[in-house]
Structure 1
């Protein structure tokens, strides 16, 4: 697919990537279905609620679906995320989630673009920085340390989550670090959802002193090359306001927004 029309790309995203379930499902994780909604339990961070669409649910029926999730996670004493997209229906879904106790976190843009132009480029890095693909837990812990330095928050769940994915199916994800000597200055990973034309990019956090030096862009290009090796034609990213302009300059297109709505018992 080379058509960069946002509507066409969004339709491909909805058809191929949603409902965004773990694939394969790691050990200890379970997926349950409640009507059009899927519940993912056993993740390291918090529960996850996802769907392709809500099959026309509105009003009382939709409120009841939401209430069932609140009650289940209240009993579990566990946070849960409802991943809401800007084009989801009904239009008042966000209001209904807030009324049920869900709180919105930072909105991101879903951007999509072709793999081929990026895969044809070469990653350009500052002197002294290299990219390396990693699988060892020690390297994953170094990524966690970098993430915690960037965000000033506990990110310990990330190391365990990445390790579990790599153990479950090492062909489904590639983790890449940008290193200056022994220091991880940035990191990102690419997932290859099965039976799709997509690769999805995640991570990308960079230590403040190493920003605006082309490292994030180089990580994107490197992962695009990995995607091309697996015959993927489209890249997808949930992009922050910082990374979205970089990705747009690289040829990706905003197709919708996504906002985590989080319920905390």
Structure 2
């Protein structure tokens, strides 16, 4: 499929309701869905393209006040998309306390193309699912170290994933690569999106000293094969500038951008 066709499917299947399906509470504020995940202390705001003529400043102020007024919410993200072209949105978010983070590229692609781009991993490495609480925690700890997160934040995310796996088995799969010493050196999740043709690739990380060996591409292909067995046709990922060339070589194409806007109490 062309990037334009993939973007059309992305807009139809992966935005708004699909992004907050697992939220505890969702409040519609104009065109925005404001979701709250109390156990995570997290809020999340998303929308389909905001209609022309909307008072963007007033809309952002109302959504910000919604999160600020709820003591359960310690942080919140507003998910923006570059192709929407909503005039003044990023400036309004900054004025209302949201910090604009690094622009990420939204990638998507046919799952068969990703599998076809697989490269074998070197000997002395092994690739498999992290399918126990202990392995999920180990894989998430590796990602935390790669991304420079605090041990507390990494442990909290691991707890959330373990609990999610307990409550909703099959809602995601964690995959990992081990080196000759048995240590996890590369890891990432694949999350099938219910009611869609997509699965998301999330949390991909590879230890610096093990990069350039094809581990991440092999990890991506393994996740793709597993997702295809569950009927998934397309993959999607939000990626950093470092990950983009790897995912392009793995068969994904850029379709738009996102600038995460994050508010913290």
| TM-score, structure 1 normalization | 0.89
Deviations 1:195-241 (A, max 9, x none): 21111111111111111111100011101111211222111111111
Matched residue, 2:29 = 34
The alpha carbon displacement at 1:151 in A equals 2.4
Give aligned pairs, total.
257
Q: Give the match's secondary structure for 1:21.
A: helix
Looking at secondary structure, tell me which structure has more helix per residue.
2
- Counterparts of 2:116 and 2:208, CA distance in 1: 28
- Counterparts of 2:148 and 2:232, CA distance in 1: 35
Residue 232 (structure 2) pairs with residue 232 (structure 1) = yes
The alpha carbon displacement at 1:122 in A equals 5.2
CA contact (8 A) 2:175 2:188 kept: yes
Deviations 1:156-199 (A, max 9, x none): 23212212331232222111111124311111111111121111
- Counterparts of 2:119 and 2:185, CA distance in 1: 16
The alpha carbon displacement at 1:81 in A equals 0.6
Matched residue, 1:218 = 218
Deviations 1:138-164 (A, max 9, x none): 112212321232122222232122123
Matched residue, 2:13 = 16
- Counterparts of 1:158 and 1:262, CA distance in 2: 17
Question: Bigger shift: 245-254 or 121-130?
Answer: 121-130
Q: Give the match's secondary structure for 2:160.
A: helix
Which stretches in structure 2 are left out of the alignment for 5+ residues? none
Residue 51 (structure 2) pairs with residue 51 (structure 1) = no
Residue 69 (structure 2) pairs with residue 71 (structure 1) = no
Residue 89 (structure 2) pairs with residue 93 (structure 1) = yes
Question: Bigger shift: 157-166 or 193-202?
Answer: 157-166
CA contact (8 A) 1:187 1:206 kept: yes
CA contact (8 A) 2:105 2:239 kept: yes
Q: Give the match's secondary structure for 1:87.
A: helix
CA contact (8 A) 2:143 2:203 kept: no
| TM-score, structure 2 normalization | 0.89
CA contact (8 A) 1:120 1:225 kept: no
Which among 123, 126, 132 is matched to residue 122 of structure 2?
Answer: 126
Runs of 4+ in 1 over 3 A off after TM superposition: 120-123
RMSD of aligned Cα (Å) = 2.0
Question: Bigger shift: 88-97 or 237-246?
Answer: 88-97
- Counterparts of 2:35 and 2:214, CA distance in 1: 36
Superposed counterparts of 1:96-175, under 5 Å: 96-120=92-116, 124-154=120-150, 155-175=154-174
